[in-house]
Structure 1
């Protein structure tokens, strides 16, 4: 009988401890959630492309360490190096890079199975919640950068949102406006009311009449991802597209359908692109987005399609000869309107990292993408990905009065994000190979080795083989 009572008492005590422990998580203070790893001496690693948002967050990351006790080592490098290092970590299942700048096309699409599902952190009562919830993030950024096919599996939180727009020298366009109008009969002030053909005409006119610059236009036409990005603005404006399945552009798809680069709209766009590059700065075929930005900042070109976040470089007198002289507008239109290439990226967690470090990484993501931090980073040249920041009364004033360089471009960028103006490239596991075919054939075309028709028809055949469309058709 004594043994029975002792056993019963022991069971009772175990149950009591369990009951007592369970609600403790529920009443865990917010401060305790943020400081739970303070004495664990944790260091986590963020691998990112060298972008203005990462430069900005690096300048204040010590605030996160002070808040949580967690150190963050940030590595900034070229996008191709981010992709290569991420692939190596995934292949070895090392988990050494806890936080990844997850390019939607080169990392998320082909390697989404290696990323942690954000829902497990969102549903963990021992971790803080997302301030204002997921609905506060710009919808396009959230979906295009955070999901791959599965609409229930969130793989990243919006981190940056670079978008290609028309950058130009305001001083040159103002100085020569009347002379150009007298010659050509229309106002050349940049904007989506002008066509790509007019953009070409303007660039050619500047080549012939404006000694202040070496060329009217410049492009990121290096045989690399940048060439595909530059070309895509024209392709989409002319009504062309990469694949038949439109679902591939937002949520992503394993079945993108037939490649559409051999269609009339795509062929027409390619012909025009070759013509445009024939009068562009000769350095264009050796520039990616960084090279183009350096040339523009040096005062070598009058205008270009470029990622808007370089505004922080263009408006910095220490790094730019054109500070205070730069204008921003939507890209020119084609038959399908103005299409401005979105290149946003979310930040993700490596599923091979330890559970403790994954949770520490989640704390970093919450902090770095929170409204308060995004508002602070805006003043350092980063573009917010949250509605709450744009709706903030102080931010509205900052944008209105353009209190820092990035503000100069935000009016245009928010217009570029509207559904009728934005372009999203395909999100498919095959994109790395597809992208290589596209920029390789375009590069051969620009070098005179292929005609526009040959370049696109050859690309279509190769891409249909890559995706398996030819086999499915049979």
Structure 2
């Protein structure tokens, strides 16, 4: 097996026993075979999982729940394969910088890549291995229960770019932004809020963003003994601000390009002219600016971690945030938190999907390449996903249908739950429906577009520019970046 490992530089333009669950994953994968398509012996004979023993590989990841869980429990993988895996976790922006430098070097400091669909996969797809090199190749173990066990929309969004026949990553995590709220406070004040506001304030997909605003404002004025502010946001000048705003943009019927949500799956080379000057986009910006005006002032300095910390500390009554913070919520505020899809706007409820896949650096040597495949195969297997879900240091959410079908996972949807992230399952499953999911445009220029967007949005929410002017400026920058 020979490969050309040099990457084209033009591509670079831009607690319940984690150990026991991990051991189960190792044993299950070692034995997988038959209808699962796994365990086929390599041409050279011997255990296919031991084929690259003695190899050391490096995995670069964002600071995420599944990576934290795996980093704390790599022994099952090493026992299974004889491969040492080093895991380096960091903030997403720093990860993108490191991946870019690694690809451009023509070598492979990092062998396994946390391939964010928008910030890594789209701009750097030519630096990633097409996994069809391994899938269906009987020299390598195959994914237990097959590729079809991955949630189909997530396999498309996290794994493919431009070419339907190529797969650059296996779905690894699936954070989705939902409505997180202090259920105890909503219960305490329910009748008084209902009387004052004229509607049932219980969070659900049937409420609107305008009603969300009124609820937040009510908490600001009437519940100071229990909470400082009604709402908090991840509105730092950062990727998080784009995520927070996107939910409102889509809910109001706006989008970044004419192709809309269809650009979030397979992606495109040429997204065309920006549509951020539409009436819907400007209305969304005006509402978002107004909402930040009554939110906790710290919102302008918080990313997703910041708003999660504030929520868990009791500073805000509700917030939009990634559902995988549920594990932390349940530790800080046991039994006091509720979860629902985000409110709807004039168009729909939109819940941004932030899932990511894991791929392989195309600059790897053959042994590193094969070892990396064994790792991503193991890391995304049903048993390993269950291990990360159950881990006291993790809490990652599965990307495989079969994991949700396990009796212990279904049981955990109700308190007391040994798998706290699964408490969000009803809200997340609703958010994942085609009509509710929010997908960013998967384009090679997304990193530049993202920076232009959150920079101008930051100016807007600090009062430096009006919402309509901000949208016109962003649209102009988008068109300049994409050479429209």
Structure 1-normalised TM-score? Answer: 0.90
Q: Which of 380, 383, 389 is residue 372 of structure 1 equivalent to? A: 383
CA distance in 2, matches of 1:308, 1:160: 11
CA distance in 2, matches of 1:457, 1:407: 41
Q: Which of 311, 332, 347 is residue 296 of structure 1 equivalent to? A: 311
How far has the Cα of 1:60 moved from its partner? 2.1
Match status 1:48 vs 2:61: yes
Aligned to 1:437: 452
Match status 1:92 vs 2:105: yes
Q: Which of 177, 180, 187 is residue 164 of structure 1 equivalent to? A: 177
Instruction: Map residues 251-266 of structure 1 onto 2, 5 A cutoff.
Output: 251-266=266-281
CA distance in 2, matches of 1:158, 1:165: 20
Instruction: Map residues 301-450 of structure 1 onto 2, 5 A cutoff.
Output: 301-316=316-331, 320=332, 322-380=333-391, 381-400=395-414, 402-450=417-465
Q: Is the 8 A contact 1:160 1:385 kept in 2?
A: yes
Secondary structure class of the residue paired with 1:81: helix
How far has the Cα of 1:186 moved from its partner? 1.3
Aligned to 1:68: 81
Secondary structure class of the residue paired with 1:334: coil
How far has the Cα of 1:399 moved from its partner? 2.7
Match status 1:241 vs 2:255: yes
Aligned to 2:121: 108
Gaps of 5+ in 2: 1-39
The 3 A distance-change label for structure 1 pair 285 and 297 is same
The 3 A distance-change label for structure 1 pair 81 and 24 is closer
Aligned to 1:270: 285
Kindly provide the CA deviation profile for residues 91-123 of structure 1, in whole angstroms up to 9, marking residues without a partner as x. Answer: 101211001111111111111100011011124
How far has the Cα of 1:124 moved from its partner? 3.0
Match status 1:195 vs 2:208: yes
How far has the Cα of 1:376 moved from its partner? 2.3
Q: Is the 8 A contact 1:149 1:252 kept in 2?
A: yes
Aligned to 2:227: 213
Q: Is the 8 A contact 1:147 1:155 kept in 2?
A: yes
How far has the Cα of 1:370 moved from its partner? 0.8
Kindly provide the CA deviation profile for residues 216-237 of structure 1, in whole angstroms up to 9, marking residues without a partner as x. Answer: 0000000111000000000000
Instruction: Map residues 181-192 of structure 1 onto 2, 5 A cutoff.
Output: 181-192=194-205
User: RMSD in angstroms over aligned alpha carbons?
Assistant: 1.4
Aligned to 1:149: 162
Q: Is the 8 A contact 1:52 1:312 kept in 2?
A: no
The 3 A distance-change label for structure 1 pair 170 and 249 is same
Q: Kindly tell me the number of residue pairs found equivalent between the two proteins.
A: 439
How far has the Cα of 1:56 moved from its partner? 1.5
Kindly provide the CA deviation profile for residues 144-199 of structure 1, in whole angstroms up to 9, marking residues without a partner as x. Answer: 11111111111000000000000000111010001111111211000111100000
CA distance in 2, matches of 1:43, 1:386: 27
Which deviates more from structure 2 when the two are superposed, residues 182-191 or residues 232-241?
182-191
Match status 1:131 vs 2:144: yes
Secondary structure class of the residue paired with 1:74: strand
Aligned to 1:453: 468
CA distance in 1, matches of 2:68, 2:381: 17
Gaps of 5+ in 1: 1-22, 470-474
Q: Is the 8 A contact 2:41 2:138 kept in 1?
A: no
Which deviates more from structure 2 when the two are superposed, residues 212-221 or residues 393-402?
393-402
Structure 2-normalised TM-score? Answer: 0.88
Aligned to 2:25: none
Aligned to 2:9: none
CA distance in 2, matches of 1:28, 1:424: 44
Aligned to 1:3: none
CA distance in 2, matches of 1:47, 1:217: 34
How far has the Cα of 1:453 moved from its partner? 0.6
How far has the Cα of 1:24 moved from its partner? 7.9
Secondary structure class of the residue paired with 1:311: helix
Which deviates more from structure 2 when the two are superposed, residues 228-237 or residues 52-61?
52-61
Q: Is the 8 A contact 1:145 1:346 kept in 2?
A: yes
